[in-house]
Homo-oligomer: A and B are copies of this chain.
Amino acid sequence: MVPEGEDLAFTEKSLIERVRARAGRGKGVVLGMGDDCAILKVPAGQEMLVTTDFSLEGVHFRREWHAPEVVGWRCLTRGLSDIAAMGGEPVAAFLSLGLPREIAEGWVDRFFAGFLELAAEFNVTLAGGDTAESEHGILADIVVVGSAPKGKAIRRSGARVGDRIYVTGELGGSAAMVERLYAGRRVKSAGYSRYFKPVPRVAVGRWLRERGAASAMIDTSDGLSTDLGHICEESGVGAELNAELIPRAVIAKAGGEVDLRLALHGGEDYELLFTVRKNKRVPERIAGVRITEIGRIVRESGMQLAEGGVRRRLEPGGWEHFKRNS
């Protein structure tokens, strides 16, 4: 597994040396890079959480829109956000990285700078991965391993009729930024840094898990309508949202809140969407993050959106990452 560099004609072993030099041994990591497998220790009474996510050039990012640090950061965010959505504690990351022959070493260095800045913030060890030469574009696959006390990880399937639906932070900001990128606008200074460097809601997930506060949880990587649909499907319930309550992101210099459409269907916000039994109370902020009640779980299957006294059916939105030729 870990990086010998045979496949890397472009920088020979230099990439591997770079990665190994920066990888570490942290809590939970007995043996990191440099062997056939990494070895992780699992404290008694804990279960392991494992998640894997692609970040593909042209599908999930574009080199002309996203600085290398941003690509590295967002690559790791995808995995950390999945750990947060179980109420888990991230432990170690594994990065498989395919790079085209022409890639500059500087790009790779900056990618790792972004990746490792976020890893350090969450005390996550880069414990292994793989490298290969890619024939077309940059390919990254991130694996994050975490832990949670036995039986305590928060699943998508625990929502029950009457539960209230909450979301962290604000929605639609990332989708609004993608629209601005498509429109060819300069967005670097556009004042929505969470799009470029989303901080996964690990502390909120931990808080909810420690207090047994959430009955079901998911992260909003694919958009509110899609991700709430997953909770409904896995829990065998339906949901009603109140459009006026949905917290919409505000893009600086763009004049106010984003459209409801973006808050409902836009992806990559990496907020937490969770349900709470109706007899439990949730504070207005958890770990410094705004918490908003946006609806409730109902018996009838499917999702409904109430807006200005009118109720209409809400279909999962199908957030699409940008395509090279679209």
Interface residues of A (CB under 8 A from B): 1-2, 4, 6-7, 30-31, 34-42, 44, 46-54, 56, 58-60, 79, 81-83, 85-86, 88, 92, 94, 96, 98, 127-137, 139, 141, 143, 145-146, 148, 150, 153, 155-157, 217-219, 222, 226, 230, 234, 267, 318-321, 323-324
Task: Contact check, A156 vs B50: say whether CB atoms are below 8 A apart.
Answer: no
Q: Give A130 to B321 CA distance when docked, in angstroms.
A: 14
Report B-chain residues with C-beta under 8 Å of the C-beta of A37.
Answer: 49-51, 82-83, 85-86, 88, 146, 153
Q: Which of B6, B48, B58 makes the CB contact (< 8 A) with A320?
A: B6
- What's the least CB distance linking A106 to chain B, in Å? 23
Q: Give A133 to B217 CA distance when docked, in angstroms.
A: 26
26 residue pairs bridging A and B, Cβ less than 8 Å apart? A4-B230, A6-B226, A7-B59, A35-B86, A36-B82, A36-B217, A37-B49, A37-B50, A37-B82, A37-B86, A37-B146, A38-B51, A39-B49, A40-B49, A48-B48, A50-B127, A50-B128, A52-B128, A53-B96, A54-B131, A54-B141, A59-B133, A135-B323, A135-B324, A136-B136, A143-B143
Among A2, A60, A82, A130, max chain B CB count under 10 A is at A130
Task: Contact check, B36 vs A218: say whether CB atoms are below 8 A apart.
Answer: yes
Q: Give A26 to B135 CA distance when docked, in angstroms.
A: 36
Task: Contact check, B58 vs A155: say whether CB atoms are below 8 A apart.
Answer: no
Given contacts A6-B319, A155-B31, contact A130 B230 (CB under 8 A): no
